[in-house]
Amino acid sequence: MLGFKLRSLIGILLLLFAIQTHAQIVILTAETPSAVEFANDVAKKLNGQQIAINPSKYGDSDTVITVGNTPLQNVANKKQIALATYVSFDSFAKLQIDNRPQHVIYSDPSPGALREAIEKHFPNRSIGYIRSGGEDQYLDLLEKAGVKLTTYPLSANDIYKTLSAIYRADQPDLMLVSENRDIYNQNTILFVLESLYRNRIPVIATNRALINKGSTLTVFTTKETIAERTAAVVLAIVSGAGAQSEIFPEAEVQVDRNLADKLNIAVRGK
């Protein structure tokens, strides 16, 4: 009888050990409401999988997913990351980390989607683009996709001086405002949009947050789309089916025709 109880106890302990050590999907994200909400959305789409969001510990056999730049930077030199999602191309290209993630999903729209939107709504227009030294990789992607740009170097790391120089030169028909954090941040973006508006230069933006804030054409990705792609890639990874190493999610396009009328620029297409 005692032997039976002992065997039963051992069986239970082994089962608990197996449950605790079973490989799981670990989602690491910043402790902000929006980031945690995104992680929960991904978890819901992975229904049936064993998932832990921001656990205090995780094992070497776990599939680690990071959301955003901060968790990626914190973990990359300690653990192999299967997938980094919701990171801007520009920020990812500049990360100084030893272990690059096996897969990455960007928050930017694809260069191809950007080209198609420009060709549809503003064909044969000159597009200006302010570049910084660390942004050459994204600029290369745009050019390879057929996006024709007139580039302006960031003057002395000063966006204000750079805009003044552009206004004194031959102004482009439109200006592309990208996700480059070296140029555009919460302290400069509203000034840039207002300055371009005063000088009657419409803005093409790749950030949804600039809709109704000064962007005439916005080509952007959504959290829902990125969450769906994230879940699909995670399932491909854990099933061994394989996935692309770099992914730009599908983009959406929004045109502010009222703003275009105020800036006296014609918008083609619907």
Lookup: tokens for 105: 């999903």
Q: In terms of DSSP H, where are the helices of the chain?
A: 2-21, 33-45, 69-75, 89-94, 111-121, 136-144, 159-168, 189-198, 223-239, 257-262
Q: What is the pLDDT of residues 215-224, one digit of tens each?
A: 999 999 999 9
* pTM summary value: 0.84
Other Cβ atoms less than 10 A from the Cβ of 17: the count is: 10
To the nearest 10°, report the CA torsion of 149, 154, 158, 164: -50
Q: How far apart are the first and last CA of the chain?
A: 80
The CATH class for the domain spanning 111-219+253-262 reads alpha beta
Report how far Cα 137 is from the mean position of its chain's Cα atoms: 15
* pLDDT surpassing 70 at residue 43: yes
**Three-state DSSP class for 149?**
coil
Contacts of 238 (CB under 8 A, 6+ apart): 25, 49, 63
What average pLDDT does the structure give for the chain? 86
Q: Span 29-56, mean pLDDT? A: 92
User: Pick from 160, 168, 92: which is nearest to 130 by CA?
Assistant: 160
Q: Which fold has domain 22-108+222-251?
A: Rossmann fold (3.40.50)
Q: Is it true that 22-108+222-251 and 111-219+253-262 share their CATH fold?
A: yes
Model pLDDT, residue 127: 96
How much is the pLDDT for 135?
Answer: 54
d(CA 143, CA 139): 6
Closest Cα to residue 43, out of 266, 244, 230, 218?
A: 230
Domain boundaries, the chain: 22-108+222-251, 111-219+253-262
**For residues 59 and 41, is the Cβ–Cβ distance under 8 A?**
no
Least trusted range by pLDDT, from 12-26, 134-148, 213-227: 12-26
Q: pLDDT tier at 241 (50, 70, 90 boundaries)?
A: confident
87's enclosing H/E stretch is strand 83-87
Alpha carbons 76 and 79: distance in angstroms, whole number? 6
pLDDT in tens, 149-202: 999 988 888 899 999 999 998 899 999 998 777 788 888 899 999 999 999 999
Length of the chain: 270
Query: What sign has the CA pseudo-torsion 13, 14, 19, 22?
Result: positive
